[in-house]
Structure 1
């Protein structure tokens, strides 16, 4: 139950908020959200800070009060760099931006203006000192690692323009403040980014970044417009991704020969003579227990590919379905082990998600090198949570990448194969722990369509499903292994028939009757 004092303070804050003039041009979008419950329930420790609270969401948690002493010490040290400006002057400057700071938070904040400004000033001083010590000097310790996890959590963010305001006073100019802040954030990104081998020299406008997690997201996730994604889908047709060598054309030629042979046999089977023969007696015979499996095998081998082609043809309403999110089953993709057995090679790339491609000529899946360490799970999960909360209708690119990795990694053997290929740099305790990390990633809270990655998934599935050994394995799994009860009944019936025939012969002397019949002839 809220106290009377809290109710009065709430009314005062509401009146003041309504009395403020609204400037549409300077309106600040919400960027700091509560983690969606669907994600929070899967692994709360990856979203709830364990060492330090930054910002208002976890400020009142008693188990985090121990770090308040360190934050006050950081504020005292920051005061020495304010160029004869008192710390309370910094607080007063931040008070002028209180509406913009509050607007960044999705949750309603019950703090009054003075408390909120002091909180921002102290937390910003602590975060800047941590970024300077860790991002520039790379000061690594067990304590810093625990704080590092909390710094990237979605609910533990403070607006980046607050850091810019503090640095502006320390550096005497906004340009020098931005340069220092970018260098610190780049150092932090090099430590936190799972794509360690990518080029971090890409310039990012820090004035357009909402917070630390948003800056990290901008360094990892490529900026792909919808038009560029559609062009990539159109230009990534099989056979257009390189000329290839003579040896790389062999699987393609064999596939074309197999398709031609399948069509010839189908034409023979569908001829008029065969249709007449199949009309009456074979319709009954083909459904007999012994021949139904053969019929299913012929249908699976010769007609499954044509059915797939018919499904792949654009329909009249394809333009309407173009931007619809994919169905849940469309994310299904074979594991690394299965793809490797079918001839797919895995090649690492030095880049981000935009480097993911599947070359149908060389049967090669290109994936960016990803490093797994003790903080990777927290980084991945909070990036997914930030995308899900801040999507605004945009495709969840990073979320789709995690779903792709979750799809191809099922067991520790899959991780071992990717490690041998140089795609995974595993610094965890075991391959099993790495597999559990990817398999534990929750699916997106809403379905999304990312043409860049969906095209790769579609091409991989198309290649894999057209392999004859894959077709045979699927057939036996569905129609043979799945019908073991029927096969057992058939064997028992056959055995009973043989025993009955043996008993009949023992009674009526089948061999003597057969001998007398031959003598009579």
Structure 2
């Protein structure tokens, strides 16, 4: 009986699949549906998901098919159904299933927007979209009423929904919201006007940076979803010159650079000679005869006071390979399921830049206004607001940019810049004093962890105007005399402590050997020294 029932179920699935295929091919799609629809709702890349899963997985409400069947999110289905009932009252004497039937005509377009294959039939997918769109529109209407916005923005549940709404895997298409509003308002123009006002209010609430000038209106027909709209309000449209990365001109050398290059090559030659001589000394000390000769005096004088400390020091300096082998042994258990380490760009921290004379000034614009003026030594950065929702917004904007097929990773490069200049809570405090960071988190340490936790994108991040700023900052900082002196001492003095320790240990060893020899033989008689 079980085999018969499974066979009939399989036959039913095949029949339903065949009916859906025939209906899809027989339907005459509208002209706008004949246009190729790009994928816009992606799965978060695993490299990013491993760093902080809670920032990418909805915690309260599921919108769309990716997280629809998660049992911990079913509690919100009651509120979603209540929103659908209220939507039905505004459908102008139409039934809710009429809206569903309208959405079923867009099934191919809906499926094309999702990166993952959807295991739903057309009717189930249409009902899901109609209910989720009703809930999302009712939630977004709060941002058309300023009084309601001020009241609900302080509620923890409201903030949880806000974070879920901007997650990359929790998006539904804006054209579905437009279709629902069009049926309610009997006009596509009024529907778009209402939708833009709600999305602008949402952007004001969630945007960590100042949004674009309201005179620049964003066409909702070109935006895929809420996260896409938020990205377009924050990230400026760049010119081709700002997107292109200039190639280094290795073959072009001016006359003024010849002495500099000659001095640099001479210094590199001296450095290589130093390294080669150090390798020769190290190889001789690691040879078997040298090890025997060095260990033999230790056995003779090992019982003398204080010699045990010297013995450990000499072993650590002369025979470090034992420690290196111990440290090199892999720990098979500790590295399992660990996320990839976050990478930072090469740029000094805020504290180091301030010590070298750099001034930080907040800008009135967005990311495109980030500049560094070497004449006035001024670093211009946009004001950024950090609150309970900022981490989720930042991470999902980066995930969206990394998943798109094209376009420069402008916002990702901005987060890498902030990650590079912020190392500790002191850096956050200094930027807060300059008015660049408006920190509404519990502490400066939490803000520093937020920026330091931003991992590098999975795609190559090259934005010409931001890379130029980073290059100019590094050039100014590295050519300061105090920075040069610090680097010189760190590289050639502090970095040579092993060689200095080696020479000191050899000198002490020679003196101890000489002292032991003199204790056995009369040095004054041998050397003919008069007492």
Q: What's the TM-score, normalizing by structure 2?
A: 0.74
Of residues 187, 190, 208 in structure 2, which corresponds to 1:176?
Answer: 190
Any residues of structure 2 matched to 1:1-400 within 5 Å, and which?
4=10, 9-10=16-17, 12-13=19-20, 16-17=23-24, 26-134=35-143, 136-137=145-146, 138=149, 139-140=152-153, 141-196=155-210, 199-230=213-244, 331-390=345-404, 392-400=405-413
- Residue 435 in structure 1 maps to residue 442 in structure 2: no
Give CA-to-partner distance per residue, 1:459-512, whole Å, 9 cap, x none. Answer: 111111112222222222222222212212223444566789997998279998
Give CA-to-partner distance per residue, 1:206-237, whole Å, 9 cap, x none. Answer: 11111100000000011113234459x79xxx
Q: 1:439 to 1:18 in 2, by over 3 A?
A: farther
Partner of 1:454: 467
Give CA-to-partner distance per residue, 1:350-403, whole Å, 9 cap, x none. Answer: 22110111111111111111111111111011111111111x232111111111
- Residue 507 in structure 1 maps to residue 524 in structure 2: yes
Shift of 1:51: 0.6
Give CA-to-partner distance per residue, 1:318-360, whole Å, 9 cap, x none. Answer: xxxxxxxxxx999311111111111111111122110111111
- Residue 420 in structure 1 maps to residue 450 in structure 2: no
CA contact (8 A) 1:206 1:215 kept: yes
The whole-number CA distance in structure 2 between the counterparts of 1:420 and 1:284 is 48
The whole-number CA distance in structure 2 between the counterparts of 1:444 and 1:59 is 28
Give CA-to-partner distance per residue, 1:222-270, whole Å, 9 cap, x none. Answer: 1113234459x79xxxxxxxxxxxxxxxxxxxxxxxx99x969969x99
The whole-number CA distance in structure 1 between the counterparts of 2:277 and 2:110 is 75
- Residue 471 in structure 1 maps to residue 488 in structure 2: no
Task: Name the SS of the counterpart of 1:425 in structure 2.
Answer: strand
Give CA-to-partner distance per residue, 1:55-98, whole Å, 9 cap, x none. Answer: 11111111111111101111111122222222222112112222
Partner of 2:457: 444
Q: 1:372 to 1:495 in 2, by over 3 A?
A: same
Q: What's the TM-score, normalizing by structure 1?
A: 0.76
The whole-number CA distance in structure 1 between the counterparts of 2:362 and 2:450 is 20
The whole-number CA distance in structure 2 between the counterparts of 1:369 and 1:284 is 50
Q: What RMSD over aligned residues (CA atoms) do the two structures have, in Å?
A: 3.5
Task: Name the SS of the counterpart of 2:397 in structure 1.
Answer: helix
The whole-number CA distance in structure 2 between the counterparts of 1:48 and 1:350 is 34
Task: Name the SS of the counterpart of 2:385 in structure 1.
Answer: strand
